[in-house]
Amino acid sequence: MTRRRWIADEVSGNRAALTGDHADHLVRVLRARVGQEFDIANGTVVRRGRIVSIADARVEFELGEEVAAASPANVTLLLGIFKFDRMEWAIEKCTELGVARIVPVIARRTDAHLAAASAKRADRWRRLALQASEQSRRAAPPEIAAAVKLKETTGLPGALRIVLAESENQTPLRDALTSAEGEILLAVGPEGGWAEDEVQLFQTAGWMSASLGPTILRAETAAIAATAIVISELT
C-alpha cells in the first residue's frame, strides 16, 4: 500500500514534526496513532517516518530510510488573476501537475477588487498548494509569489518564455516547446485574456506567443491544459 505523504513543518536530524492545523488534520481527521508510518518530505528529501508522539497540535516522527521522489518540473507559471474560486482550482491542479513556481499577475483585465484583495489571498493559495503537493506526493510545494503587476514580470529570465495569446494562430503551444531546455516561463492571462498592448509588451521583451487552439477556454482551463502540455513535453 502506498503511504500517504506529508511535508514536514519542522525537521532536525532524524526527527520531524507536523504542527498546528497540519497536525490536527492528521490526528482528528485521519485518526493517526503512535507507530503509524508515513512518507515525510522536507523540501528536498523524502524519508519514511514513524509517529513517535502525538500532543496538542503537534505530531512527531522518527525518520528512517530515504524514499525515491520526483523533482518538480522547472516551470514557472505566470497566472493573470481572475475570480478567486476558479483561480484556486488552477493553482491546485497546476501544483498537482508539477510546476515549480506560480506568480499571480495583476493584468489590465483583472477586476480592481480582485487585484486589491490578492495580497490577502496569498497565504490561502500557499495552503492550497501545500495540500495539493501532499496529495500528489511532491517533496515540496511550489513557490507562490506575491502578486505583481504585469510590467514587473516580462523581464523575468528564462531559457524559454511563452505567452498564451488568443491572437496567435500560427504557433501551437506544443510546437513552441520543441527546443525546451532549462527553465520555462509560461504566461496565462485572466478572464478575457491579455489585452493587445500586454501581448505587445511580452513580445517586445522577447517572449514567444503560442496558442492552445481555435477554441476559447476559461482562464483556469487554459492554465491547467497549458501546464499539462508543458509538463508532458518535459518528461
Each residue of 160-210: pLDDT tens digit? 999 999 888 889 999 999 877 789 999 999 999 999 999 999 999 999 999
Average of per-residue pLDDT across 59-83: 93
For the record, the C-alpha cell of 235 comes out as: 518528461
Predicted TM-score (pTM) of the model is 0.91
pLDDT per position as a tens digit, 113-137: 999 999 999 999 999 999 999 999 9
User: Do 115 and 182 belong to one domain?
Assistant: yes
User: Do 59 and 160 belong to one domain?
Assistant: no
Q: At which of 67, 99, 114 does a domain end?
A: 67
User: Do 195 and 91 belong to one domain?
Assistant: yes
User: Do 201 and 93 belong to one domain?
Assistant: yes
CATH number, position 48: 2.40.240.20
Question: pLDDT confidence of 1, banded at 50, 70, 90?
Answer: low
CATH number, position 139: 3.40.1280.10
User: Do 137 and 29 belong to one domain?
Assistant: no
User: What proportion of the chain, given as a percentage, has pLDDT over 90?
Assistant: 85
Average pLDDT of the chain?
94
Task: Identify which of 46, 50, 25 has the alpha carbon closest to the alpha carbon of residue 37.
Answer: 50
Q: At which of 47, 67, 87 does a domain end?
A: 67
User: Do 11 and 122 belong to one domain?
Assistant: no
Overall domain count for the chain: 2
Q: Structural domain of residue 184, as residue ranges? A: 75-234
User: Do 229 and 173 belong to one domain?
Assistant: yes
DSSP string, 17-57: EEEHHHHHIIIIIS---TT-EEEEE-SS-EEEEEEEEEETT
For 59-214, where are the alpha helices, taking DSSP H only?
Answer: 84-97, 112-135, 173-176, 196-204
CA atoms within 13 A on the CB side of 73: 24
CA atoms within 13 A on the CB side of 150: 23
Task: Identify which of 142, 143, 71, 187 has the alpha carbon closest to the alpha carbon of residue 176.
Answer: 187
User: Do 81 and 132 belong to one domain?
Assistant: yes
